[in-house]
Amino acid sequence: MSPQEISQTDLNNEDKGVVVTVTGLEAGDKVSDSLTGDAGEAKGDTMSYNIFSAAKDASKIPTGTVDFTVTVKRGEETQDIAASFTVVEDETEEPTAPVVDPKVTLATDTISVAEISTDGLKFSGEGFTPGGTVTISGGQLPNQAKAQSGTQADEPLKADENGKITGTLVAPESVKPGKYAVVFTDDETGEATDPHQFTVTEDATDDPTEDPTTPVAEAKLIVSPESVTPQDFVNEKKGVKLAVENCEPGEDVRFLVNPEGNTNVTAFDRTVKADDEGKADVTVYGTSKSNPNAYTGDYSVTVTCGDDKLTGKFSVEADPNAGGGAGGNDDGGNGNGTGGGDLPRTGMELGGLAAGAALLLVGGAVVTMTKRRRSAALSPSDI
């Protein structure tokens, strides 16, 4: 009998099994056994055959000694031979316990307060006990983290059958900006990862987005017309218009007009308020209608609008057809060139000017003047 001891798996293998060898036979002897039935007919003095199990599951084959009888029939004579073999349980290798060497990777090492308290900080790891629980610890962060998709936040984090973990660290809303470190511990073995550091940053504050605005236009002075005849200049409905744009609404706008070389004409200085569109204007004209040529010459214009100082100029061109005059008397003369002209009324009674002198006036302004000697010119203090 070979072998005398056989495993369940080998007995279940048709190519292995137990080999039964019968000797001392004669050709024609018939051999059978109590396990398999007829074994065959001897061809000589020795005969061998296999005994095996046809069980579908080798682990179900009973273990222990199997006793059976081999019968040899020769003619009318029969001889029984006792035989046996032993079935032993298959040797099962104990599965080697996986080496627990936990390692974890954080998705980022910098995250904002809002991100870690809402979406959280994702992580993945390996080398944990398959199916075992994992504890996360570290500062103000929660002891347990949200684990794989579908796991409740208050359930322990578990490794899968391969010892891998995935999850999200979610901090409380009270978490403060700063540096933190977390440690992942395999609960079954106590093995822990090195501390994993990350930084929680303050939430970015979006600066208020200013609506796109049209660039602030620069203040602008318009002198119209830049050249005028004496007759039009002494016409209060014409004169020269000084207009500014793009000042600050409500701010003071100062208009200053100076004659260039004409000492008989007094400088004009007037301050007005810009309207709600940042505009202001005045009309400058001569008041001596009886002697318009007295205004002939060039005039410089300076306008102050906030921090802006604007300049311009205009000219009163000589009128060869206009009379003018030297001489005259204190009451203004008769306009034939021998005396000064009369001043217009501008909301109040105004006095006369000396012969040969003239005055610039803003339309609508109340101007007070004092009568002077004929040879004197007006100064700014006389207005």
Q: 279 — phi, psi (to 5°)?
A: -110, 150
pLDDT of residue 213: 63
What is the pLDDT, as a whole number, of residue 278?
93
Last residue of a domain, one of 54, 88, 122: 88
Q: Is residue 119 part of a domain?
A: yes
Residues 168 and 228 in one domain: no
In a domain, 98, yes or no: no
The verdict on 123 and 84 lying in the same domain is no
CB 18 within 8 A of CB 6: yes
Boundary (domain end) residue, out of 32, 59, 88: 88
Residue 94 located in a structural domain: no
In a domain, 207, yes or no: no
Categorise residue 28: left if φ over 0, alpha if ψ from -120 to 50, beta otherwise: left
Q: According to the model, what pLDDT value does residue 343 have?
A: 27
pLDDT at position 141 is 59
Residues 243 and 367 in one domain: yes
Same domain, 327 and 225: yes
Owning domain of residue 127: 103-201
pLDDT at 186: 94
Distance CA 258, CA 366 (A): 20
228 contacts 238 by C-beta, under 8 angstroms: yes
pTM of the complete model:
0.36
Same domain flag for 34 and 130: no
Asked which of 169, 201, 233 is the last residue of a domain, the reply is 201
Looking at residue 174, its pLDDT comes to 84
Ranges of the chain whose pLDDT falls below 70 = 95, 97, 139-154, 206-214, 262-263, 319-383
Are residues 239 and 354 part of one domain?
Answer: yes
211, part of any domain = no
State what percent of residues in the chain have pLDDT above 70.
Answer: 75
Question: Are residue 66 and residue 178 in the same domain, yes or no?
Answer: no
Contact 1, 84 (CB under 8 A): yes
For residues 116 and 160, membership in a common domain is answered with yes
pLDDT at 216: 73
Tell me whether residue 210 is in a domain: no
| DSSP letters spanning 216-235 | PPPPEEEEE-SEE-HHHHT-
Terminal Cα distance for the chain, rounded: 148
311 is a domain residue: yes
Is 164 part of a structural domain of the chain? yes
Q: Which residues contact 326 (CB under 8 A, 6 or more apart)?
A: 337, 338, 355, 356
Say what the pLDDT of residue 206 is: 64
What is the CATH classification number for the domain harbouring 132? 2.60.40.10
Q: Smallest Cα–Cα separation from 40: which of 50, 48, 30?
A: 30
| Domain identity same for 194 and 232 | no
Q: Are residues 246 and 362 in the same domain?
A: yes
pLDDT at residue number 366: 29
CB 19 within 8 A of CB 10: no
CATH number at residue 61: 2.60.40
Domain count, the chain: 3
Tens of pLDDT, residues 93-131: 776 767 899 999 999 999 999 998 888 899 999 999 999
Residues 34 and 127 in one domain: no
Same domain, yes or no: 196 and 55: no
